Structure 1
Amino acid sequence: MNISKITLDVQEMKFNNGLKLLLLEDHNAPIVTFQIWYKVGSRNERPGITGISHLFEHMMFKGSQKIGPEEHSRKINAIGGRENAFTLWDVTTYYEVIPSEHLELAIFLESERLQNLNLVPQTLQSEREVVKEERRLRTDNDPVGLALEQLFAMAFMAHSYHWPIVGWMSDLDAITLNDCKEYYATYYAPNNATIIVVGDFKKKQALSMLKKYFGSIKNEAIPPEVTTKEPGQKGIRRGDVKVIAEAPIILAGFKTPPAADKDNYVLKVASSLLSNGESSRIYKSLIYDKQLAAEAGGEIFALKDYGLYFAYALVNPDAYIDEVEKYLINECERLKSDTIPEEELQKAKNQLEADYIFDLASVYGKAIQLGTAEIIYGNWQKVQEMPEKLQQVTANDIKKIAQKYFNKELLTVIRVIPEN
């Protein structure tokens, strides 16, 4: 596969209140997605209110002046659409995917909760308990979730990527209604948001509706910048997590650069070589060749301020955890000296490109890629460049990037030790 640069006819504009718009017509099917991306996530929090971004995502579905609790969801479901939201380190995003004739409904609903959200003690208390239960299920009682939390906490000692998106339990208990009101006033403003509309609509009509519902919303003071920098790491960081688990688990994470850094194109290919599927190096080495692990893989997190590539292995009952750790890290470090065969390199690039093109096949996927590129990578136009940039990566590029980032000085290792 070798696709030339993608061209997307995105119309970019900004209202006087600072709200940015990205509009992309796609008339292949009579559906449209409406998304609003707020430039706030767990990186914008502080000790004492960690988890408030995700908690607030829940509260945004609990009604406003004109819309009752959960009515937003019911209205979208009634027209055959779907809606949801997600909170990450750098963004909080709300979206609808609906029949195109109902675009105005989605625009109205999102504008209503942006400016008229009901913030009451009962909502805070109920959603606090929902989020706490979510934390118990996905982190406290999940060995992998707990290990990932510890990996970030140890890899980032100073920067706000240190704490989990779901927040620390004590902070979830401590967040007040005033904290929520201050957070809403600071970050939920048109000048801190980007609206993305992709699908079966006409620009002129959509722009008219957007002006009607969003154009007069007052902007707010620019939110404070995240100024804390992560100091340089001086050596390997290690941590053991003792929990009830079926088998030992190892996570090895290397710090990588911010999402906007051009090195991330090469790191994506390196990640694919190491840990994308059953033909990847880590999987073949630990599962097929040495039979040391029951599961193995990895993933790269390209975030706004810093990144992290991590590899993992679920250790077989008859294997030694130290031996598995050694081979897991060795596979990453081998890229520093190996000359990658052209066939293996091309396969990794093709896998990435195929996944990317598949994402762009739907209106929802196009909008997600545009939002990610705009808010996290710094410019929506990087969506158009991605396939070409991936295909330009060479074996020598992989070697140089591995020498730069896959070093013990940037390594954090977390081991899950079954206490049972």
Structure 2
Amino acid sequence: MKRNAFYSLLLGASMLTMSAQQAKATIKFTEYNLPNGLHVILQEDHSTPIVAVSVMYHVGSKNEDPQRTGFAHFFEHLLFEGSDNIKRGEYMKFIQAAGGQLNANTTQDRTFYFEILPSNQLEMALWMESERMLHAKIDDIGVETQRKVVKEEKKQSYDNRPYGQLINVIFENAYTTYPYKWSPIGKEQYIDQATLGEFMNFYKTFYVPNNAVLVISGDFTEEQAKNLIAKYYGDIPKGTMAIPRPTVVEPEQKAEKRVNFYDNVQLPAVIVAYHTPKQGTDDYYAIQLLTQLLSQGKSSRFEKEIVDKQQKAVQAAAFDLGNEAPGLNIMLGIANVGIKAADLEQSMLAEIEKVKKDGITEEEYIKLQNQAESDFISQNQKDIGVATNLATYYTFQGDANLINTELDRYKKVTKEDIKRVANKYLTKENRLVVYYLPKSEENKGKDTGTPKASTKAPVTTDKAAPKKK
């Protein structure tokens, strides 16, 4: 047993060294600003004749009026309607005819559009994104069309999907002040109530060059890209309206909150959510590794103990939301047949307590570092991954070069750090516990004493790609 453990550690150390050598390959890029405030990042990679063009706007659901939630996600759809020079519904046709693909997604913090095309179609992608930025078609026809699309998306993807309201229930109850209280899908009644003038105002406020970063990654030359960017973006005027940013601070949670939520599901689910630091902080990286320990892969603690050994859950997972502002560490378990929510919760909390009391082993630590390096490297294997990371690092931390250096922050995390953050953040006073229960249990007199959440709460998502137009 000791010899096998030694060989395991030796192999892990070897893999760590090999992975570190791979990670040393520097991603070279150029960045600059246009006079109108548009930030540009160019990353040449001639390994394949493909180019990724992306624009990230620094606007998400947290920038919305609380009485107009869902605007950022709605615009993710609306800006595919066309422009003064692109006919309605032609975005997809242009890209598909050129052998490419495009999509978009919205989070609480930003909206991201991208195209992946053969490199000889770079100019077309840049033209199309400039049209979206300057000449988007925002009229009654487009607004009414996308109102229907968004409602249908909500119905199919969330209202009629098992556990579809889970994310919304979590955020509505975890936050009291900060505008993470709602998720990007928003409330459809606000989209219905909004006027065309309100949509135009939102567009002119947020979808401007000084609130965006343009990233090109792939097979092109810097001179070629700069000339095209000057051609299509140089004359776009800088936005003149103030860009609102949340200034409120979520107060520290000082007592456990418990909620029962009833929905059309067959098996109970247990969610335990803890408030955690924003991305980029030292503790954020330690919590990321802690989350991996609990739920990444078949050998994770949740999987081995709760799913395989105890068979209390058919699925158990944990993930940390790396938000621009302090976010949440969310742990989720779906109970096995015949297992009560309280029993599953007990097992989940027991695994957390083990880390808080005993920490982690050297073998686990090496594995976590290997996973972090593997994930970091794999994210940058494709042009769109590079483009996404460059845009994200610049938008939220003002440092695109984190694409080369962020891995060092994971390496600085020690075993002791992982134990420390578990004790600091994963506390009873700092958590929300949600029992997501079958409706059949609602009237059985089995209430555990926790307050009931409305079964009609709106469904939300933290990422929602647009329906193809």
Q: Give the TM-score, by structure 2 length.
A: 0.87
Q: For structure 2, which runs of at least 5 residues remain unmatched after alignment?
A: 1-15, 441-469
Is 1:330 the counterpart of 2:350 in the alignment?
yes
Is 1:31 the counterpart of 2:50 in the alignment?
yes
Q: Distance in 2 between matches of 1:16 and 1:170?
A: 39
Alpha-carbon shift at residue 6 of structure 1 (Å): 4.9
* Secondary structure at the counterpart of residue 227 of structure 1: coil
Q: Distance in 2 between matches of 1:223 and 1:236?
A: 35
Partner residue of 1:242 out of 245, 254, 262? 262
Partner residue of 1:16 out of 20, 35, 38? 35
Give the equivalent residue in structure 1 for 2:362.
342
Q: Distance in 2 between matches of 1:302 and 1:402?
A: 17
User: Is the 1:240–1:415 Cα contact (8 Å) retained in structure 2?
Assistant: yes
Give the equivalent residue in structure 2 for 1:183.
202
The CA deviation string for residues 222-263 of structure 1, in whole angstroms up to 9 with x for no partner, is 402211211111211121111110200111111111112121
User: Is the 1:132–1:172 Cα contact (8 Å) retained in structure 2?
Assistant: no
Give the equivalent residue in structure 1 for 2:288.
268
Partner residue of 1:60 out of 66, 76, 79? 79
Give the equivalent residue in structure 2 for 1:165.
184
User: Is the 1:143–1:416 Cα contact (8 Å) retained in structure 2?
Assistant: no
Is 1:47 the counterpart of 2:66 in the alignment?
yes
Q: Distance in 2 between matches of 1:12 and 1:346?
A: 35
Partner residue of 1:303 out of 306, 323, 336? 323
Give the residue type in structure 1 aligned to 2:313. Answer: A
Alpha-carbon shift at residue 30 of structure 1 (Å): 0.6
Q: Give the TM-score, by structure 1 length.
A: 0.97
* Secondary structure at the counterpart of residue 244 of structure 2: coil
Alpha-carbon shift at residue 5 of structure 1 (Å): 4.5
Give the residue type in structure 2 aligned to 1:27. Answer: H
Alpha-carbon shift at residue 388 of structure 1 (Å): 2.5
Relative to 1, partners in 2 of residues 1:113 and 1:155: Cα closer, same or farther, differing over 3 Å?
Answer: same
Q: Distance in 2 between matches of 1:284 and 1:255?
A: 26
Partner residue of 1:318 out of 338, 350, 375? 338
Q: Distance in 1 between matches of 2:284 and 2:403?
A: 14
User: Is the 2:163–2:265 Cα contact (8 Å) retained in structure 1?
Assistant: no
The CA deviation string for residues 275-301 of structure 1, in whole angstroms up to 9 with x for no partner, is 112211111121112111111111111
Q: Distance in 2 between matches of 1:141 and 1:237?
A: 27
User: Is the 2:321–2:328 Cα contact (8 Å) retained in structure 1?
Assistant: yes
The more displaced of 140-149 and 391-400 is 140-149
Give the residue type in structure 2 aligned to 1:47. Answer: P
User: Is the 1:5–1:387 Cα contact (8 Å) retained in structure 2?
Assistant: no
Give the residue type in structure 1 aligned to 2:224. Answer: Q
Give the CA RMSD over aligned residues.
1.3
Partner residue of 1:387 out of 391, 404, 407? 407
Partner residue of 2:251 out of 207, 228, 231? 231
User: Is the 2:163–2:263 Cα contact (8 Å) retained in structure 1?
Assistant: no
Give the residue type in structure 2 aligned to 1:50. Answer: T
* Secondary structure at the counterpart of residue 219 of structure 1: coil
Q: Distance in 1 between matches of 2:24 and 2:69?
A: 40
The more displaced of 309-318 and 32-41 is 309-318
Give the equivalent residue in structure 2 for 1:174.
193
Q: Distance in 1 between matches of 2:431 and 2:151?
A: 31
* Secondary structure at the counterpart of residue 335 of structure 1: helix
Give the equivalent residue in structure 2 for 1:285.
305
Give the equivalent residue in structure 1 for 2:129.
110
Q: Distance in 2 between matches of 1:237 and 1:137?
A: 30
The CA deviation string for residues 75-104 of structure 1, in whole angstroms up to 9 with x for no partner, is 111110111111111110110000111100
Partner residue of 1:399 out of 419, 444, 455? 419
Partner residue of 1:372 out of 385, 392, 395? 392
Moved over 6 A (4+): none
Alpha-carbon shift at residue 48 of structure 1 (Å): 1.7
Give the residue type in structure 2 aligned to 1:283. Answer: E
The CA deviation string for residues 13-32 of structure 1, in whole angstroms up to 9 with x for no partner, is 00111000111101100111
Give the residue type in structure 1 aligned to 2:77. Answer: H
Give the equivalent residue in structure 2 for 1:255.
275
Alpha-carbon shift at residue 116 of structure 1 (Å): 0.8
Q: For structure 1, which runs of at least 5 residues remain unmatched after alignment?
A: none
Q: Distance in 2 between matches of 1:138 and 1:261?
A: 34
* Secondary structure at the counterpart of residue 311 of structure 2: coil
The more displaced of 353-362 and 37-46 is 353-362
Give the residue type in structure 2 aligned to 1:306. Answer: P
Give the residue type in structure 1 aligned to 2:216. Answer: V
Q: Distance in 1 between matches of 2:330 and 2:93?
A: 39
Give the equivalent residue in structure 2 for 1:69.
88
Q: Distance in 2 between matches of 1:237 and 1:27?
A: 53
Give the residue type in structure 2 aligned to 1:174. Answer: Q
Give the residue type in structure 2 aligned to 1:92. Answer: T
Alpha-carbon shift at residue 377 of structure 1 (Å): 3.6
Rg larger in 1 or in 2?
A: 2
Alpha-carbon shift at residue 376 of structure 1 (Å): 2.7
Q: Distance in 2 between matches of 1:136 and 1:338?
A: 45
Give the residue type in structure 1 aligned to 2:435. Answer: R
User: Is the 2:282–2:409 Cα contact (8 Å) retained in structure 1?
Assistant: no
Give the residue type in structure 2 aligned to 1:141. Answer: N
Q: What is the identity percentage for the equivalent residue pairs of Structure 1 and Structure 2? A: 34
Q: Which has the higher contact order (CA 8 A, sep 6+)?
A: 2
Relative to 1, partners in 2 of residues 1:369 and 1:193: Cα closer, same or farther, differing over 3 Å?
Answer: same
The more displaced of 93-102 and 334-343 is 334-343
Q: Distance in 2 between matches of 1:279 and 1:203?
A: 45
Alignment of 1:74-93 (within 5 A): 74-93=93-112
